[in-house]
Homo-oligomer: A and B are copies of this chain.
């Protein structure tokens, strides 16, 4: 055996990460072995810290370090528009939309999308909490930004049927997003254009 046990262990841990194969893992591990111990400890600490300090925002279910996430805090402080809620499947979709700079409202993270195939029904998502928000906050528009794939479309249609009867405008991101793709990986221009030309359901 050519590899020290602790090196092999770290290689295994890195290979578990998404998008990291054996060659990338090896490159990273040898790079870490050549670094200053303090620098390496920073990485380990950041990993531990993120799990200790990050939980879900009480209001929108984005990742947060306080009770509310940074975006909900901005809404509270009046720096963002409270009357429009963008509904997304996952917190990472918020990052993608924020990068476009086209949206200045608040968010709501469903925690997934309706998928009979994977046994995910409406009750598994934060739909009840969204409806509670629509009852208590003065919302004018709900922008449904679930992924442009089967599950996302299903979820959007399901939500629009619940929300429209409340007299709230319900919009969907425009086509222009590649169908079957992931919102997370859309480029800023395409995603920005999609927000700009969103249409009413």
Residues of chain A touching chain B, judged by Cβ–Cβ distance below 8 Å, are 1-7, 9-10, 12-14, 16-20, 23-24, 26-33, 37, 40-51, 53-54, 63-65, 69-71, 90-92, 94-95, 98, 185
Return chain B residues, CB-CB under 8 Å to A26.
92, 95
How far, in Å, is A116 (CB) from chain B's closest CB? 22
Docked pose: A45 CA to B48 CA in angstroms:
9
Using CB atoms, name the residue of chain B closest to A38.
B51
Q: Chain A contact residues: over half helix, strand or loop, or mixed?
A: helix
Interchain CB contact (< 8 A) of A9 among B28, B41, B46, B92 = B46
How far, in Å, is A172 (CB) from chain B's closest CB? 22
Docked pose: A1 CA to B54 CA in angstroms:
15
Return chain B residues, CB-CB under 8 Å to A24.
19-20
